[in-house]
Amino acid sequence: MLGRCDLPDSSEGLLKIAQVVIHPDFSPGNDFSNDLSLVQLENPVGFTSNVIPVCLGTLEDDPLPSNTTVAVGWGNTESGGSSSSSLLSVAVAAISLEECETLYEGTVIITPVMLCAYSPGKDACQGDSGGGLVRLASDGRWVVVGIVSFGKGCAEHNAPGVYTRVSSFNTWITETVGNATCS
How high is the mean pLDDT in each 10-residue block of the chain (183 residues)? 47 77 87 90 84 89 94 90 87 96 90 95 94 92 95 93 96 89 73
Phi, psi dihedral angles at 21 (to 5 degrees): -115, 115
Kindly tell me the sign of the dihedral angle through the C-alpha atoms of 17, 142, 179, 97: negative
Task: Say which CATH architecture domain 3-177 belongs to.
Answer: Beta Barrel (2.40)
- pLDDT, position 180: 73
Domain borders along the chain are 3-177
- Among 147, 124, 126, 109, CA closest to 29: 109
Q: Which residues contact 69 (CB under 8 A, 6 or more apart)?
A: 63, 91, 92, 93, 94, 115, 117, 133, 134, 135, 145, 146
Give start and end residues of each alpha helix (H) in 53-142.
97-104
